[in-house]
Structure 1
Amino acid sequence: MRGEILSYDPQTGSGLVSGDDLQRYGFTSTDPALAAGRRVDFVVEDGQAHSLILLRDPTPPAPTVYPPQPDLGLWGYFVRCVTTAYIDGNGRARRKEYWSFALFQFLVLLLAAMPVLGLVVAEAETGRDMQAWGVAWICIVALIYLALIIPGIAVTLRRFHDVGLSGWLILIGLVPYIGGLFLFVVSLLPSQPIVNLHGAPPKGLG
């Protein structure tokens, strides 16, 4: 028979269970998992409940609620990638976020490299030795490039998560030719329209 525990005193080991036959039965047990409100299966002998077995709670746990990701715009996504999500590979990144970072990464590096060209032109026109300045500025450009590698990896991981793939697949990118093509294809895939292990789909998939 099955029923619900009405009361249970773990100190004395005694309790009362209400059976599905609308009858009440006393019982004794030393099971610490017993508690009022738990459903049990038991055997009735001489008006007492024996061999109580806890049943699984029929109420499933509440699903994890992920708030949908808002659209931050091109610049907003880039700022997020280089600030709050700088080393964060968790969560999801829509195509727009990935390509926003790629666009502004290219523009930042292009603008940073332009003074080098200016130094070359100045050296050619004035005849002054600009090599020291050129080397110094190239080092600055290299530091900017290195600083953008980490958020680039992080947003790529989130892009993999967004399409339902494991972030470890980013290692395929190390394979010559095939790896670059694989990463490019993943960057073009649409977001999964459902909640996955990494969060909710962004508003306005893309």
Structure 2
Amino acid sequence: MRGEILSYDPTTGEGLISGDDLQRYAFTSAAAGLEPGRRVDFVVQDDQALSLMVLRDGPLAPAVYAPEPDLGLWGYFVRCITDLYIEGHGRARRKEYWSFALFHFLILMLAFMPIIGLAVLDAEAGYDMEAWGVAWICIVALVYFALIVPYVCVTIRRFHDVGLTGWLILIGLVPYVGGLFTFIVSLLPSQPDANVHGAPPKGSRALQTRQDRPA
């Protein structure tokens, strides 16, 4: 199989390849000429890339990324809670993160509104709404906890998008400072080039401007 090197760390020999089958494969190699943007031929075994061979040498042509279709605010939110529900790998652009944040807030606000209505009925109208109130609070709690996982994942991918490790999400546990740090990161622009977490989220994969030729 053939593909393109997305990232490579010469100190550890570890890297990531975007295969022509649109799948990503990790590899470990100390071969010469391995650097982001290189086309390579490799063998896939247990989702790992083995026996890498560089297909071209000389200066690299600038990588051009095909534009990713804009899913819109609702589309990004739906993808976060379906296909990427437990996906912490990869990158998330600012629009994806804020799309999730917007609908996450709206859903929780709508979920809490009936609790206020039940409280009014219980206090003003004299109805015994305690049982209904407890039941609805349980439903709201389920919705809240169901959205925690995709929130954590999209935040990690947002950190990846600006070149940070996802473990920095733990700073969010620090009162005030953590929330401010996460907010600042959420506003930063995407790194324009591929990093260790993958290609820029605004493009699917690099389009080659030269044909492969043996190294």
TM-score normalised by structure 2 residue count = 0.63
Q: Within 1, Cα distance between the matches of 2:145 and 2:71? A: 25
Q: Label 1:63 to 1:190 Cα distance change in 2 as closer, same or farther (>3 A).
A: farther
Pairwise CA distance, 1:124: 3.0
Pairwise CA distance, 1:202: 2.9
Partner of 2:39: 62
Pairwise CA distance, 1:70: 3.1
Q: What amino acid does structure 2 have at the position aligned with 1:62?
A: R
Query: Does the 8 Å CA contact 1:69/1:200 hold for their aligned counterparts?
Result: no
Unaligned runs of 5+ in 2: 1-30, 42-62, 204-215
**Higher Rg of the two aligned structures:** 1
Q: Within 2, Cα distance between the matches of 1:76 and 1:140? A: 25
Partner of 2:134: 135
RMSD across aligned positions (CA)? 2.5
**Count of paired positions:** 149
Within a 5 Å distance, the mapping from 1:162-177 to structure 2 comes to 162-177=161-176
Q: Label 1:68 to 1:91 Cα distance change in 2 as closer, same or farther (>3 A).
A: farther
Q: Label 1:63 to 1:181 Cα distance change in 2 as closer, same or farther (>3 A).
A: farther
1:187 aligns with 2:164: no
Pairwise CA distance, 1:180: 1.2
Structure with larger RCO (C-alpha < 8 A, sep 6+): 2
Q: Within 1, Cα distance between the matches of 2:170 and 2:77? A: 23
TM-score normalised by structure 1 residue count = 0.66
Unaligned runs of 5+ in 1: 1-55
Pairwise CA distance, 1:57: 7.2
Query: Does the 8 Å CA contact 1:69/1:201 hold for their aligned counterparts?
Result: no
